[in-house]
Amino acid sequence: MTAPLLEVRNLRTRFRTERGDLDAVRDVSFSLRAGETLGLVGESGSGKSVTGFSIMGLIDPPGQVVGGEILFRGQDLTKLDEEAMRSLRGNRIAMVFQDPMMTLNPVLRISTQMIETVRAHETIDDTTARIRARDLLGTMGIPSPEARLDAYPHQLSGGMRQRVAIAIALINKPDLIIADEPTTALDVSIQAQILAEVQQLTRESGTALLWITHDLSVIAGIADEIAVMYAGRIVEQGGVDAVLDQPSHPYTAGLIGSLPGASAPGAMLVQIPGTTPDMVDPPQGCAFGPRCARRESDCVRQPGFTDGAHRLRCFHPLSGPASAAEVSA
Partner 1 sequence: MTTVPAAASARRPSSSALRRFLRAPSAWIGLGLMTLLVIGAVFAPQIAPQNPFDLAAIDVLDARMTPGSVSSGGDITYLLGTDGQGRDLFSAILYGLRTSLTVGVGSAVLAGIIGILGGLIDALIMRLVDLLMSLPSILIALLMLALLGKGIGNVVLTLVLLEWAYYARTARAQALVERKRDYFEAARGLGLPTSRILLRHVLPNCLPPLLVIAALQVARAITLEATLSFLGLGAPVTQPSLGLLIANGFQFMLSGEYWISFFPGLTLLTAIVAINLVGDRLREVLDPRALK
From 33, 43, 69, 99, residue interacting with partner 1 (rule: CB under 8 A):
99
Q: What are phi and psi of 56, to 5 degrees?
A: -75, -10
The yes or no reply on residue 105 touching partner 1 (CB under 8 A) is yes
What are residue 76's DSSP bridge partners? 71
The yes or no reply on residue 295 touching partner 1 (CB under 8 A) is no
The yes or no reply on residue 117 touching partner 1 (CB under 8 A) is yes
Residues 165-204 that bind partner 1 (CB under 8 A): 165, 168-169
C-alpha dist (Å) from residue 314 to 19, 22, 144, 171, 261: 29, 23, 52, 42, 26
Q: Per-residue x/- mask for partner 1, residues 202 to 241, rule CB under 8 A?
A: ----------------------------------------
> 203 near 34, Cβ under 8 Å?
no
The yes or no reply on residue 154 touching partner 1 (CB under 8 A) is yes
The yes or no reply on residue 144 touching partner 1 (CB under 8 A) is yes
The yes or no reply on residue 150 touching partner 1 (CB under 8 A) is yes
From 13, 46, 91, 202, residue interacting with partner 1 (rule: CB under 8 A):
91
Residue type, 311: R
The yes or no reply on residue 86 touching partner 1 (CB under 8 A) is yes
CB closer to partner 1 out of 102 and 293: 102
Q: How far is 285 from 261, CA to CA, in rounded Å?
A: 32
- To partner 1, the closest distance from the beta carbon of 245 in angstroms equals 34
C-alpha dist (Å) from residue 20 to 64, 116, 279, 282: 14, 40, 10, 12
Interface residue list for partner 1 (CB under 8 A): 56, 58, 86-91, 94-95, 97-99, 102-108, 112, 116-117, 120-121, 144, 147-148, 150-152, 154-157, 159-160, 165, 168-169
